[in-house]
């Protein structure tokens, strides 16, 4: 048996490099098993197991980070170990953990099957983690599908509620559509990256099959056989990712899905899958389609320039549309949905900077900025949805902005926390949102995108109107209807403490976190060097 293994072609497998993903998978399976056999009174166990799984996975991630091995990839280069991945993985675990905290009471209150919800949440997390760790378009697509299918179900989790059903169905249909775009794009890129290799006599004789490995793609785009296919493939993938991170003009699904989905699920969707989308979007475009000077240089310079310019347009559209439409919303969840679109736009500003940077240090700084931005967004956004969920009560009944009228001094803890999150989303100083904006706008200014940044800050000014509106309604208005302050469940209180302190910590002392992400991502240059070297060698 062992001799058979030794003789067959064994790819390099380093199981330890996907330890966090494996741990979450095991936890998800255990949750399903336990839930099947547990008595209904012991349902809380599934939440406990899930949390334990997330914490152990986080420890494993930190361990990987601290003991980064020399070999930075596994499974024949399909899985990458770099700090872009690890940074995002920690964000996903944080998002999943916070979602778990704010959903526990909701699941119980609505008489929903806790085990199913928790295992779906864990599987979605695994999907996101693979999206960040995949160095191969196939892995990224697999991760995306694991994530998507789990979230389709989660969005429709309140089966008896029509809005929840609508949300799920819309998300499913449009999501499948976008997945198809992505897959088609992957296929085209695969076709485009087949290259002709010199035969033994020096003439071009052998056609090598295409590739889905991102580093390989980067090294081959300089001599791609069918440049037009590359363009088409890149455009298709842009649409697929653009959908996942909800950028204009691929954002249409967002408000309906966010409004209809149960609030904890919305919190998760706005923070997690968006970050995951960015993780693979950055990896595919920044590392897979870099600026390459090659024999047929013009083509590839153009490809790089084309997607960067497209992203600039998308960023402007996304920020402006998200903020302007958010102004007229009367439902808090819908308003936050448009705000999430706008925030995808701000993050795209940093992404543009990462794409446009030709110097590895500047590019890494820009990527750090985007990762940091998505971290801050995850913290403040989940915090905001935690408050929205408590105020909405069971069945998400009270989500209109009018439901918040005059509650400021009736439940000061909720109202002041929500105000803090609104100010943070607005980007006021001393909050995480401010530092996030400084980072992404700074990265863009470093690349001389002054116009883009000015559009960005003017958009922030526009957004003041609707973020402040909630504060105004809560504090400046007088309560007209009877209102009893809702009780804050312990787990939600814990989530609120974490997010409030997180917003303040990231806003006042972001240095340590930025430094952590910064120094780590620097070693990503290795992959970059590899791809560039590959390009040169091929030349």
Partner 1 sequence: MPNLLTILILLPVAGALVLVLYSFVSSRREEHYRWLALIATVATFAVSLLLLRGAGVSGAEFRFEENVSWIGAIGARYHLAVDGASLWLVLLTTLLMPIAILSSWTSIRKRQLSYYAFLLILEAAMIGVFVSLDLLLFYLFFEASLIPMFFLIGIWGGERRIYAAVKFFIYTAVGSLLMLVGIIAIYFIYRSFDYPTLLQAMTASPLTPRAEYWLFLAFALAFFIKVPLFPFHTWLPDAHTEAPTAGSVILAGVLLKLGTYGLLRFNLALFPNASRNWAPVIITLAIIGIIYGALVAMVQPDVKRLVAYSSVSHMGFVVLGLFSFTELGMQGALYQMLNHGVSTGALFLFVGFIYERRHTRMISEFGGLAKPMPWFSTLFVIASLSSIGLPFLNGFVGEFLILIGMWTSTAVSWSWIATMLATTGVIWAAVYMLWMLQRVVFGPVTNDENARLSDLNNRETVLLLPLLFLMLFMGVYPRVFLDRSRASVETIRARVNASPAGGSYTTAVRQD
Enumerate the β-bridge partners of residue 323: none
Residue 6 makes CB contacts below 8 A (sequence gap 6+) with none
Distance CA(396)–CA(334), nearest Å, equals 13
Q: Binding of partner 1 at residue 409 (CB under 8 A)?
A: yes
For residue 303, what is the DSSP state? H
Rank residues 56 and 508 by Cβ distance to partner 1 and give the closer one: 508
Rank residues 205 and 515 by Cβ distance to partner 1 and give the closer one: 515
For residue 404, what is the DSSP state? G
Rank residues 249 and 511 by Cβ distance to partner 1 and give the closer one: 511
Work out how close the CB of 434 gets to partner 1 at its nearest, in angstroms, rounded to a whole number: 8
For residue 134, what is the DSSP state? B
Distance CA(36)–CA(428), nearest Å, equals 47
Site for partner 1 in 129-148 (CB under 8 A): none
Site for partner 1 in 516-535 (CB under 8 A): 518
Rank residues 204 and 450 by Cβ distance to partner 1 and give the closer one: 450
Rank residues 44 and 476 by Cβ distance to partner 1 and give the closer one: 476
* Number of amino acids touching partner 1 (CB under 8 A): 34
Which range of residues in 48-56, 248-256, 303-311, 511-519 is near partner 1 by CB under 8 A?
Answer: 511-519
Rank residues 336 and 453 by Cβ distance to partner 1 and give the closer one: 453
Q: Binding of partner 1 at residue 430 (CB under 8 A)?
A: yes
Q: Binding of partner 1 at residue 429 (CB under 8 A)?
A: yes
Per DSSP, the residues of 23-79 read HHHHHHHHHHHHHHHS-GGGTHHHHHHHHHHHHHHHHHHHHHHHT--S--EETTTTE
Tokens of 422: 């609104």
Work out how close the CB of 410 gets to partner 1 at its nearest, in angstroms, rounded to a whole number: 12
Site for partner 1 in 444-503 (CB under 8 A): 445-446, 450, 453-454, 457-458, 460-461, 464-465, 468, 471-472, 475-476
Q: Binding of partner 1 at residue 351 (CB under 8 A)?
A: no
Buried b (16+ CB within 10 A) or exposed e, 442-481: ebbebbebeebbebbeebbebbbebbebbbebbbeeeeee
Rank residues 280 and 518 by Cβ distance to partner 1 and give the closer one: 518
Rank residues 207 and 461 by Cβ distance to partner 1 and give the closer one: 461
Among 241, 346, 373, 441, binds partner 1 (CB under 8 A): 441
Work out how close the CB of 479 gets to partner 1 at its nearest, in angstroms, rounded to a whole number: 13
Tokens of 284: 């595919």
Tokens of 182: 């992505």
3-state secondary structure of 196: strand
Closest-CA residue to 65 (of 523, 530, 525, 528): 523
Rank residues 116 and 410 by Cβ distance to partner 1 and give the closer one: 410
Work out how close the CB of 438 gets to partner 1 at its nearest, in angstroms, rounded to a whole number: 7
Which range of residues in 10-18, 248-256, 479-487, 506-514 is near partner 1 by CB under 8 A?
Answer: 506-514
Q: Binding of partner 1 at residue 505 (CB under 8 A)?
A: no
Number of residues that this document lists for the chain: 539
Rank residues 265 and 348 by Cβ distance to partner 1 and give the closer one: 348
Among 515, 533, 536, 539, binds partner 1 (CB under 8 A): 515
Rank residues 288 and 427 by Cβ distance to partner 1 and give the closer one: 427
Tokens of 472: 């105004």
x/- mask, partner 1, residues 356-375, rule CB under 8 A, reads ------------x-------
What Cα–Cα distance (Å) separates residue 102 from each residue in 99, 129, 359, 432, 480? Answer: 5, 21, 42, 20, 29
Work out how close the CB of 374 gets to partner 1 at its nearest, in angstroms, rounded to a whole number: 17
Distance CA(190)–CA(55), nearest Å, equals 38
Among 439, 470, 492, 495, binds partner 1 (CB under 8 A): 439
Which range of residues in 53-61, 134-142, 156-164, 513-521 is near partner 1 by CB under 8 A?
Answer: 513-521
Query: Strands 195-198 and 73-74, how do they pair?
Result: unpaired
Distance CA(237)–CA(232), nearest Å, equals 9
Closest-CA residue to 350 (of 437, 428, 425, 281): 437
Site for partner 1 in 213-272 (CB under 8 A): none
| C-alpha R_g of the chain | 23
Rounded to a whole number of angstroms, the distance between the first and last alpha carbons of the chain is 43
Which range of residues in 93-101, 347-355, 396-404, 427-435 is near partner 1 by CB under 8 A?
Answer: 427-435
Binding site for partner 1 (CB under 8 A): 368, 409, 423, 428-430, 434-435, 438-439, 441-442, 445-446, 450, 453-454, 457-458, 460-461, 464-465, 468, 471-472, 475-476, 509-511, 514-515, 518
């Amino acid at each position: 048996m062992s001799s058979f293994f030794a003789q067959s072609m064994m790819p390099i497998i380093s199981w330890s490099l996907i330890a966090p993903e494996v741990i979450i998978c095991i936890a998800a399976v255990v949750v399903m098993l336990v839930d099947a056999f547990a008595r209904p009174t012991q349902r809380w166990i599934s939440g406990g197991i899930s949390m334990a799984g997330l914490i152990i996975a986080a420890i494993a991630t930190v361990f990987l980070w601290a003991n980064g091995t020399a070999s930075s990839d596994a499974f024949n280069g399909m899985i990458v170990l770099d700090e872009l991945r690890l940074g995002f993985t920690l964000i996903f675990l944080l998002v999943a953990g916070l979602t778990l905290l704010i959903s526990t009471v909701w699941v119980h209150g609505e008489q929903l099957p806790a085990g199913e919800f928790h295992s779906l949440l864990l599987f979605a997390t695994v999907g996101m983690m693979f999206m960040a760790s995949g160095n191969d378009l196939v892995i990224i697509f697999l991760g995306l599908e694991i994530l998507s299918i789990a979230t389709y179900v989660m969005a429709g989790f309140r089966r008896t509620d029509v809005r929840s059903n609508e949300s799920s169905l819309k998300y499913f249909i449009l999501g499948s559509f976008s997945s198809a775009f992505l897959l088609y794009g992957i296929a085209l890129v695969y076709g485009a990256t087949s290259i002709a290799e010199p035969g033994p006599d020096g003439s071009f004789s052998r056609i090598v099959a295409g590739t889905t490995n991102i580093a390989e793609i980067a090294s081959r785009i300089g001599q791609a056989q069918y440049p037009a296919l590359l363009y088409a493939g890149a455009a298709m993938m842009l649409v697929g990712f653009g959908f996942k991170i909800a950028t204009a003009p691929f954002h249409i699904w967002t408000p309906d899905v966010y409004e209809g989905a149960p609030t904890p699920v919305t919190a998760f969707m706005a923070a997690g899958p968006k970050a995951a989308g960015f993780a693979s979007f950055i990896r595919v475009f920044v590392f897979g389609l870099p600026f390459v000077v090659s024999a047929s240089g013009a083509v590839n310079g153009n490809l790089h320039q084309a997607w960067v310019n497209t992203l600039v347009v998308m960023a402007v559209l996304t920020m402006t549309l998200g903020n302007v439409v958010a102004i007229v919303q009367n439902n808090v969840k819908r308003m936050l949905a448009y705000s999430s679109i706008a925030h995808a736009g701000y993050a795209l500003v940093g992404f543009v900077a990462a794409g446009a940077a030709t110097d590895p240090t500047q590019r890494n700084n820009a990527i750090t900025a985007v990762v940091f931005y998505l971290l801050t967004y995850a913290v403040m956004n989940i915090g905001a949805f935690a408050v929205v969920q408590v105020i909405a009560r069971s069945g998400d009944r009270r989500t209109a902005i009018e439901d918040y009228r005059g509650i400021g001094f009736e439940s000061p803890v909720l109202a002041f926390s929500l105000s803090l999150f609104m100010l943070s989303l607005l980007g006021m100083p001393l909050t995480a949102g401010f530092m996030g904006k400084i980072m992404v706008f700074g990265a863009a200014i470093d690349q001389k995108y002054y116009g883009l940044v000015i559009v960005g800050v003017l958009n922030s000014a526009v957004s003041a109107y609707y973020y402040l509106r909630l504060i105004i309604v809560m504090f400046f208005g007088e309560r007209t209807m009877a209102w009893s302050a809702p009780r804050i469940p312990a787990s939600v209180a814990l989530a609120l403490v974490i997010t409030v302190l997180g917003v303040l910590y990231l806003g006042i002392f972001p240095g340590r976190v930025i430094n952590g992400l910064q120094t780590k991502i620097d070693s990503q240059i290795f992959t970059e060097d590899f791809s560039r070297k590959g390009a040169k060698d091929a030349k």
